[in-house]
Amino acid sequence: MSLDDLPVRGDLRGKKPYGAPQIHVPIQLNVNENTHPVPQEVAADIARALGEALTDINRYPDREFTALREALAGYVGGDVTADNLWAANGSNEVLQQILQAFGGPGRSLLGFPPTYSMYPLLAEGTGTAWVTAERGPDFAITPDIAVAAIRAHKPDITVFCAPNNPTGTGVALDAIAAAFLDAMARISHVG
């Protein structure tokens, strides 16, 4: 039996699973791996914590990641509380949850390639259209580029990957602010 024998959605038939390309070079950065080994004291601490966790592994963990969010809030400090933080099993789960809540059939996700290769895959998996806009020189997304792309495509969701994968470029806060303010102005005119 193959996947094609299963009653999967027609638009997903024949698709290949995601996989980061494995290129054998002295330092691999394309899969977000650390180039340094885990220090022995860190490995020992992980093994100790794992041993403690095994005592109640027969129960579901806290789905709200309360202890983690509280620890992160303490680390960040200021006015940040656990209620201000969102934790999940990796960024792909967060992205998928966003697309499940705000994407779907008849909705779209705007990105600026070259960018994280999971965006179009997660969009497709949730039935969300993937639309793209060009970056400027040196892979920059300026306020004008961001606003023009949002006005042209009218996406339901816009993603800014920072630092961008694969280019490593950042996104200036003024570009994000311009995109947000323009989107909010459009929303306030609709209602």
List the CATH number of the domain containing 139: 3.40.640.10
Clarify whether residues 105 and 173 are in a common domain.
yes
| Residue 30 domain flag | no
Tell me the whole-structure pTM to 2 decimals.
Answer: 0.72
Could you tell me if residue 140 is inside a domain? yes
Q: Are residues 98 and 170 in the same domain?
A: yes
**Which pLDDT belongs to residue 18?**
73
* Count of domains observed in the chain: 2
185 shares a domain with 126 = yes
Q: List pLDDT tens digits, range 136-187.
A: 999 999 999 999 999 999 999 999 999 998 899 999 999 999 999 988 887 7
If asked whether residues 183 and 123 sit together in one domain, one would say: yes
Same domain, 58 and 145: no
The answer on pLDDT for 30 being more than 70 is no
For residue 3, what pLDDT is reported? 64
Q: Which of the two residues, 185 and 120, has the higher pLDDT score? A: 120
Residue at 160 is within a domain = yes
Query: Using an 8 Å Cβ cutoff, are 110 and 132 in contact?
Result: yes
Displacement of CA 184 from its chain's centroid (Å): 22
- Indicate if 133 and 172 belong to the same structural domain: yes
In this predicted structure, what is the pLDDT of residue 23? Answer: 74
Are residues 98 and 175 located together in one domain of the fold? yes
- For residues 118 and 154, membership in a common domain is answered with yes
Listed as own residue / partner, the contacts of 29-36 with beta carbons closer than 8 Å and 24 or more positions apart are 30/166, 32/165
Average pLDDT of the residues in 88-94: 88
Same domain, yes or no, for 141 and 126?
A: yes
**By mean pLDDT, which of 19-23, 32-36, 113-117 is the weakest?**
19-23
Q: Is residue 75 located within the same domain as residue 150?
A: no
pLDDT surpasses 70 at 20: no
The amino acid at residue 15 is K
How confident is the model over 47-54, as a mean pLDDT?
A: 93
Report, in angstroms and rounded to the nearest whole number, the Rg of the chain calculated over CA atoms. Answer: 20
Instruction: List the domain range (segments joined by +) for residue 164.
Output: 91-190
Q: What is the pLDDT of residue 161?
A: 94
